[in-house]
A and B are shown apart, each in its own frame.
Chain A
Amino acid sequence: MTNSIDEITESQVLFVIGSNTTEQHPLIGSRIIEAIKKGAKLIVADPRRTYLAERAYVHLCILPGTDAALINAMMNVIINDGLINEEFIKERTEGFEELRQNILQWTPERAERITGVKAEDIRRAARIYAGAERAMILYCMGITQHNCSTDNVIALSNLVLLTGNVGKPGAGLCPLRGQNNVQGACDMGALPDVLSGYQKVKDPGVREKFSRAWGVEIPEIPGLTVPEMFEAAEKGIIKVMYIIGENPAVSEAHLSHVEKALRNLEFLVVQDIFLTETARFADVVLPACSFAEKDGTFTGTDRRVQRLRKAIEPLWNSKPDWQIIVELAARMGYPMTYADPSEIMDEIASLTPSYGGISYDRLEGWGIQVPCPHKDHPGTPYLHKDSFARGKGKFIPVNYTPPAERTDEKYPLVLTTGRVLYHYHTGTMTRKIDFLNKKCPEPFVEINPADAQKLGISDGDEVYVKSRRGKIKLSARVTGKIKQGVVFVPFHFAEAAANYLTIDALDPVAKTPQLKFCAVNIFAGSEEHGDS
Chain B
Amino acid sequence: MTKYVKTICPYCGCGCSIILHVKNGKIVRTSPAVKDSINKGTLCIKGMLAHEFVHSPERLRTPLIRENGSFREATWDEALGMVAEKFHKIKEKYGGSAFGVLSSARATSEENYLISKFSRAVLATNNIDHCARL
Give the B-binding residues of A (Cβ under 8 A). Answer: 5-6, 24-28, 30, 141, 144-145, 176-193, 195-196, 201, 210, 214-219, 221-227, 229, 232-233, 237-246, 248, 251-252, 266-267, 269, 272-275, 279, 282-288, 290-302, 304-313, 315-322, 324-329, 331-332, 334, 336, 341, 344-345, 347-348, 365-366, 421-422, 424-425, 429-430, 432-436, 439, 510-513, 515
Contacts and interface: CB of A to CB of B under 8 A. Distances in A.
A226 to B, nearest CB: 5
Across the A-B interface, the 9 shortest Cβ-Cβ residue pairs: A300-B15, A296-B108, A245-B104, A223-B126, A177-B13, A26-B44, A287-B60, A184-B109, A190-B103
20 contacts: A27-B42, A179-B12, A182-B105, A190-B104, A229-B127, A246-B131, A252-B134, A274-B60, A284-B83, A285-B63, A290-B54, A296-B107, A308-B7, A312-B54, A315-B54, A322-B114, A325-B115, A328-B122, A334-B118, A436-B45
Contacts of A188: 109, 112-113, 116
B61 A219 contact: no
Given A312-B26, A344-B110, A232 B100 contact: yes
Given A421-B45, A422-B46, A344 B114 contact: yes
A178 B13 contact: yes
Contact of A321 (B3, B9, B80, B107): B107
Contacts of A273: 53, 59-60
Chain B CB within 10 Å — which of A191, A291, A425 has the most? A291
Contacts of A267: 86, 90
Interface residues of B, number: 96
A287 B111 contact: no
A345 to B, nearest CB: 6
Given A332-B87, A421-B44, A296 B14 contact: no
Contacts of A299: 15, 109
B80 A241 contact: no
Interface in B8-59: 8-17, 20, 22, 25-27, 36-39, 42, 44-47, 49, 51-56, 58-59
Contacts, number: 412
Contact of B129 (A6, A141, A224, A319): A224
B20 A436 contact: no
A180 B115 contact: no
Interface of B: 3, 5-17, 20, 22, 25-27, 36-39, 42, 44-47, 49, 51-56, 58-66, 71, 74, 76, 79-84, 86-88, 90, 94, 96-118, 120-134
B7 A181 contact: no
B53 A307 contact: no
A319 B75 CA distance: 12
A5 B38 contact: yes
Nearest to A423: B46
Given A27-B14, A180-B12, A190 B116 contact: yes
Nearest to A331: B84
Given A233-B100, A511-B133, A291 B10 contact: yes
Nearest to A344: B110
Contact of A297 (B65, B84, B110): B110
A373 B134 CA distance: 29
Given A223-B125, A296-B111, A287 B80 contact: no
A267 B90 CA distance: 9
A514 B108 CA distance: 28
Contacts of B56: 274, 432
Chain B CB within 10 Å — which of A176, A221, A296, A319 has the most? A296
Given A284-B79, A287-B59, A242 B112 contact: no
A177 to B, nearest CB: 3
Given A246-B104, A290-B10, A317-B63, A309 B5 contact: yes
Contacts of A239: 90, 94, 98-99
A282 B66 contact: yes
